[in-house]
Structure 1
Amino acid sequence: MNTILKTLQFCAETTETLCPAHHIPMIEIAGHRLCKLCAKETVHHSHAAYENELQQRLLKQKIKNSGLNKRYLDRGFKNYVVACPAQDNTIKLCQAFAQQIISDHNPNMLMIGTPGTGKTHLSASIIRNILHNSTKSARYYTSAEIAQKMMDTWSDASRSEKEVIDHFSSFDLLVIDEYGLHDRHE
């Protein structure tokens, strides 16, 4: 099969027509008149829109890869329902905690409460906040998942317990949820 390359040459001619936006002479290429500055702005806006879309896709993927259950993928501080003063204080502490991680501090937090008080929702909110507002990594695991990954090393010689621990410690934020453990003791 022969490939034929054709080179099209376009001659640009300066016209006497002025761009209404920039008041500079427009050019004519292949029968179309355009302003050089308008063309640059169009390319710039197109590039910015592409970059924005790319960032949104990357953010969606980071959130999807964060380990959060589908139920919590859209949870944030804004849709956390504050039903009492203690919850109001808790959400403020969680927001400050997320900000500390974003600001390169290494705080720790332990959330304790009865089932249904919003611990997982707030954990998801912290993760989403960090992923939205920084380049930090954040990952959610249940304690059962961590235990299983450790136990898997006992039968898989290709991966050591140290490698699993190194994996868990590689995140800027690691959330370990005892999700569902209360059901086992009732």
Structure 2
Amino acid sequence: MKTLAQIKPQAFAQPADEFCQVHNSQKVISFGTGRVICTHCELEKAQASHRKNAHASIREKHFHGAQIPARHAQSGLKNYIADTQGRATAKASATAYIKHLRDGGKQNLVMVGSTGTGKTHLACATAHNLLDSGMFVRYVTSEHLANDISSAYSRKDDTEKSAILRYTDLDVLIIDEYGLHDRSAKSPYILECVHKVLYARYDALKPTMLISNMSLNEIKSDLGDRLWSRFQDGGLSVIECNWTDARTTK
């Protein structure tokens, strides 16, 4: 960012007869345009513009890094259709969870329900709101997370530890489709990778959102007593989307 000393010789010519009431300094006649301006005011405008552009750049990087699906790029709380009591309750719970995290809370969240009940929309709406707050958020399916970690050794300069750390460092991690494609009788290590991330985020006091078509009891059983106990430590937010598939009822 330029300082006043750097821009004054290039941008301004001779002193003017006017004084800036804000900075109590003599104004100058701008070189080339003939405008009478205050150099301090111009510098403040330039700095404000720089901060605005820097904020926009950071925000763009945050959103790009969040990996929100293109289908849900515009999914927010405002366009989430809360036309039933159940959906209204789910929206209110997501709104409360967003506030909880913005206030520094560390609770995890579980969102369960059958296909087509708007879980991913609500999860991505939560992500958008947290990203707007400057938090580092990542959306990922459980399958992709597991495959990314399990294949770390096949990539140059990557390890399982490094891969897990990438998901642990995030302020908030949203794991969607838990239990859908992240398990195999031939390779139980796949699901183990997801659980390793959950353990690591618990140790790091990082909140995680777990989205699944499984029931709450099925998730509890799937995680096992030890991990389930840790996942709900300090309180657990639960959103149950127990209504019919919106895609098939239109």
Q: TM-score with structure 2 length normalisation?
A: 0.57
| Larger relative contact order (Cα-Cα within 8 Å, sequence gap ≥ 6) | 2
Query: Which residue does 1:150 correspond to in 2?
Result: 149
Report the AA paired with residue 167 of structure 1.
Answer: R
What is the letter of the counterpart of residue 172 of structure 1? Answer: D
Residues 1-186 of structure 1 aligned to structure 2 (within 5 Å) = 12-15=14-17, 18=18, 27-28=28-29, 32=34, 34-36=36-38, 39-134=39-134, 136-153=135-152, 155=154, 158-178=157-177, 181=180
In structure 1, the residue matched to 2:231 is: none
1:12–1:70 distance in 2 versus 1, CA, 3 Å: same
Q: Count residues in correspondence.
A: 170
Q: CA deviation at 1:47?
A: 2.7
What is the identity, as a one-letter code, of the residue corresponding to 2:111? M
In structure 1, C-alpha distance between the alignment counterparts of 2:67 and 2:177, rounded to whole Å? 14
CA distance in 2, matches of 1:44, 1:103: 31
Amino acid across the alignment from 1:141: V
Q: Secondary structure at the match of 2:115?
A: coil
Give the Cα separation in 1 of the matches to 2:36 and 2:176: 59
The structural deviation recorded for 1:96 is 1.4
Structure 2: tracts of 5 or more residues without a match: 1-8, 182-250
For the residues of structure 2 that align with 1:33 and 1:169, how far apart are their CA atoms?
Answer: 54
Aligned-pair CA distance for 1:152: 0.7
Cα RMSD between the aligned structures? 3.3
Per-residue deviation at 1:109? 0.6
Deviation at 1:49, TM superposition (A): 2.9
Q: Deviations over 1:100-150 (max 9, x none)?
A: 22222111011011112111111111111111013x211111111012113
Output the amino acid matched with 2:83: A
- Distance of aligned partners of 1:27 and 1:49 in 2 relative to their CA distance in 1, 3 Å threshold: closer
- Rg larger in 1 or in 2? 1
Mark the runs of 5 or more structure 1 residues left unpaired by the alignment.
1-6
2:140 alignment partner, SS class: strand
